[in-house]
Structure 1
Amino acid sequence: MCRWIAYLGQPTYIAEFLYDGPRSLCAQAQQSHKAKLGVHGDGGGLGWYGDQKCPGLYRNEGPAWADPNLRELTAQLKAKLFFAHVRASTGAPNTFVNCHPFRMNHWLFMHNGQIGEFGKIQRKLEQALSEDAYAAMQGTTDSELMFGLLVTNGLFNDPEAAIRTTLNSIRAVMLEQGIKDPFRATFAISNGEQIWAVRWSTDVYAPSLYQRDLNGDILLASEPLDSEAQNWQEIPPNSLVCLRRAAGAKTEIEIEELFDEVPHVRAV
């Protein structure tokens, strides 16, 4: 499992969220309060949007808290929209190309969770990728493959439809193959203007996700970055979240049900 944060708002220094306070993202990487795994030392990464349409990307396979380059970069870097991620591998090798976020064209994607018994269906899922999505794959994670499926299913044109189609298609393959383990996911996607995020699972244990309003700016996080519980709102399971910047320079958040009914995987 992993920990991640996503921000949309006025340009702000990224280091504030990665290093400041006892529950910052890098502190969570060393001791998480909400994750099944307490330590997330299998790499870290940052994706941010500045003046260019294509986002910047920094990834390192070492522990994020011990990465001096990440600390130097985020201390100087301001961004209006950024993703940050610390990784705890669920089986894929601890290599640079398996670190989040992942980038394709001007889109970013990051994920926390796991496709149950992924190795049994990886090849079948890969066969569903478009030529462009398959060619863009660099690593071996279920996360990057999920990103490729989102692109294949029309992410660039209709993100919300692509999200629902992709989750349903993965679930269908799991049912077809008699997979018993759950498919759990919280993930975030952005085109540089908006953020779409999901909290979902095929069982009742969807990975945690929270949001905080920072005076009109919105932060999403796998778990709160401080101990002030009243400042954070939990995103319900089976939710699709959309963040967009309103005309009055305030970030708006919309939360809707992802599916009419929460699906559950059952062996066939």
Structure 2
Amino acid sequence: MCRWAAYIGEPVHLSEVISHPEHSLIDQSLHATQSVTPTNADGVGLAWYGARPTPGVFRDILPAWSDRNLKSVAEHVSSGLFLGHIRASSGAPTSRENCHPFTADNWSFVHNGEVGGFSDFRRHANALIPDDLYHHREGTTDSEAMFLIALHEGLADDPKTALERAAGQLEAMSRAHGSAPHLHM
């Protein structure tokens, strides 16, 4: 499963969460003790907020522990609101476009889990993303589809209900295709 961290508070350098603590996000990507796989090596990403309403984004396919650019960004960028994500692929190819966080306008999103059998109904899931949001679709993951569907379902006004609706639609598709597990979140 993926590893992620979220921070909100007084501005700190991202490294205070991403790399410096004993059980930092980078440490967990290499030495996961409560996971099926001990390493998460399928990419890394950060989204942070500063003076602009849209997030800054860093994503790469290198393993977090050996990504010098990640470490440099984390040492020099400070923010009071950011997300970090270390990817362990559940089937989608390892590519920069499939690394979290996913963004659209002022939103950023990470997901730890999977929609069972997503590759069998990806085209139908993509059809749930309306045209005015589809230009944000860069990768092929179930997580990015869930995010964009949730935006369509009203994420800005009622995040809990919007995510429930998006997850419910994808879970129903998974069940209809006989895939299991239907949804991990």
Q: Same fold (TM over 0.5)?
A: yes
> What are the equivalent positions in structure 2 for 1:105-184 lying under 5 Å apart?
105-184=105-184
User: What's the CA shift for 1:22?
Assistant: 3.4
Give the structure with the larger strand fraction: 1
Q: Corresponding residue for 1:17?
A: 17
User: What's the CA shift for 1:15?
Assistant: 0.4
Q: Aligned with 2:133: secondary structure?
A: helix
Q: Corresponding residue for 2:67?
A: 67
- The gaps in structure 2 that reach 5 residues or longer are none
User: What's the CA shift for 1:179?
Assistant: 2.8
Note if contact 2:41-2:88 (Cα within 8 Å) is conserved in structure 1. yes
**Could you state the TM-score of these two structures normalised by the residue count of structure 1?**
0.66
- The gaps in structure 1 that reach 5 residues or longer are 186-268
* Cα distance in 1 for residues equivalent to 2:178 and 2:70: 42
Equivalent AA in structure 2 for residue 172 of structure 1:
A
Taking only aligned residues, the RMSD between alpha carbons, in angstroms, comes to 1.3
Q: Is it true that 1:27 corresponds to 2:27 in the alignment?
A: yes
User: What's the CA shift for 1:177?
Assistant: 2.8
* Cα distance in 2 for residues equivalent to 1:101 and 1:155: 16
- Cα deviation digits, residues 193-214 of structure 1 (max 9, x gap): xxxxxxxxxxxxxxxxxxxxxx
* Cα distance in 2 for residues equivalent to 1:158 and 1:22: 36
* Cα distance in 1 for residues equivalent to 2:113 and 2:29: 15
User: What's the CA shift for 1:99?
Assistant: 0.6
User: What's the CA shift for 1:83?
Assistant: 0.1
Q: Radius of gyration: which is bigger?
A: 1
Note if contact 2:14-2:79 (Cα within 8 Å) is conserved in structure 1. yes
- Cα deviation digits, residues 39-59 of structure 1 (max 9, x gap): 111110110011111111011
Identity %: 36
Aligned residues: 185
Q: Aligned with 2:18: secondary structure?
A: helix
Give the structure with the larger helix fraction: 2
Equivalent AA in structure 2 for residue 148 of structure 1:
L
